[in-house]
Structure 1
Amino acid sequence: MAVRRLLPGLFALCLGALVARTLATALGVNHLLFAIALGVLAANAVGIPARLEAGIATHNLWLGAGIVLMGASISVETVLEVGAPVLVLLLAAVGGSLVAVELLARNVFGLPDRLGSLLAAGASICGVSAVVGVAGAIRAREEQIAYAAGTVLLFDAITIVVYPFLGDLLGLSGTVFGIWAGISMFSTGPVVAVGFAHSDLAGQWATVTKLSRNALIGVVVLVYASYYARSQGSGRPSARTLWDEFPKFVLGFLALAFVASVGVLSSAQQASIENAYHWLFMLAFVGLGTEIRLADLRNTGMTPALVVLLALIATSSLSLAVLLVLF
């Protein structure tokens, strides 16, 4: 019965992916970004019927599956060669963004502490997923969660358009653009989309970098939970939070990357896997587009958006400057 409830929405995702791929090829535009645009158009111009919502909501599952399969295309040797500098830059960017948003929200714009923490987590780690994870740990109010999630989605929509434009304008290489997007953009879906819109190399680097950021969510949730628990005199949260919040598909990605690196997969098998994850991304991005509701974005408060904008500009500019020096 549960599977039958998902079928209409799954069919809509498949149809949307086929239409997006066909039209994007005919128009000569990037098919992944076109898939997002098609989802946005469907949600805002027509609306999503209730019977389709459950199936369309599975788009995060297809994104995770696509990322796992993408592990077969990753060159582990290349990642290890430049991994240390990128990791240092990544940790600096995450920490800097987290602190910057907290300071701006609390000390400059006077936002409530918990709202500032939700904005900081969303901007520094993994978008709405981080907002939701931290919200549960710090017992944030529903309106604070809505403001923070809406702000993140607003910048997801903006960066999907702006980053490819800046990448072309600045003539960034695939490696630089991919790492830059993975370090400074917010949510996983938009990062993967703009990365592959630039090139396959950029898409791979964007995904690897973003997964590294995502893996920090458990630590961030634990830190916030500990801080707010102590401020209220509550007990210390369990370290199990680390595992509960850890994005499990990262493990599948690493496992398949290892299998590919030891030469188990033939070139034909790798080509088939590459084709499969591109189609999974198409399904995911059609669904992702339906999550961008223009009416909801208009309701986002100006002050939270300004806080995040200032932090994004700083993180994006500084990380790009360092990457251009490194590569």
Structure 2
Amino acid sequence: MPEASGRGVLEIGDRSLAWGARTYVMAIINSTPDSFSADGLAQPGADIAAAALAQARRAAAEGADLLDIGGESTRPGATPIGVAEELRRVLPAIRAITAALPLPISIDTYHAEVAAAALDAGACMINDIWGLRRPDRGWNAPLAQLAAARSAPIVLMHNRQAQASIGALGGHYRDVQYADLIGDILADLRESIAYAAAHGIAHSRMIVDPGIGFGKTPSQNLQLIRQLAEFRALGLPLLLGASRKSFIGLPLGLPPHERDEGTAAVTALAIAAGADIVRVHNVQINLRAARITDAIVRASAPAAPQSHGS
């Protein structure tokens, strides 16, 4: 069960996140044309800045604490894009939102060039789906050095390359081999934490994410949720990004846009296991799930905060 207080505070932008006091909700803004959840904003001819700002205003009005903006789809089987295209997709969104809303913005990228430009444009946090590793290229020293130099909080997510399987309900990974699923993920994350620290990133600026839906089969994702409490052993704030993913859709037989109730159930279980941040598409449903779960498992959970809309 989550501790009520005493686990530190993360200063991000002009806000303070007090770990253990309550659960924080991170709203997803997909500045892509090919998001698995069909909510990508970067459609041909679209005004990315206007669309992103409208989505951010809605998330803020519903009570989001942070925004996570990404320009490259990370769904199973997605085609990687170049840095220039990623910048074209994310920078207008970040600039428009920063000018209009006070919410902290996280940039979802593993490219140091994109992260640097995003921080310059107003983002204040990095969400790295590879945990400071680069696919087929070893450790990501440029991104680690950037996070340290800017004192930017960084999410270190667990990931492994795996074969994607695409079906009627979307994509997932298959034939992913672990000797010990939870033990292997913990070991990989400890390596990422040590690498970050060796490059000057303070532990107080690190957040860990076990990477549900990344390099894991649907059954492994369910096991990860069942054993999520074991990740508290890392001693860092815990983020979970389960929203609308296929491990929810497959048991329910539902497409992504009908998975919000299933996501809310995972949100509640994750919080009971110790999650500090939940990364979601539907802020309202998941914030309500978070608030009642906080009231049950966190003795000192405060009343619902005011929305940040403007």
User: TM-score, normalized by length of structure 2?
Assistant: 0.28
Alignment TM-score, normalising by the size of structure 1: 0.27
Which of the pair is proportionally richer in strand?
2
| Rg larger for | 1
Greater RCO, CA 8 A, separation 6+ = 1
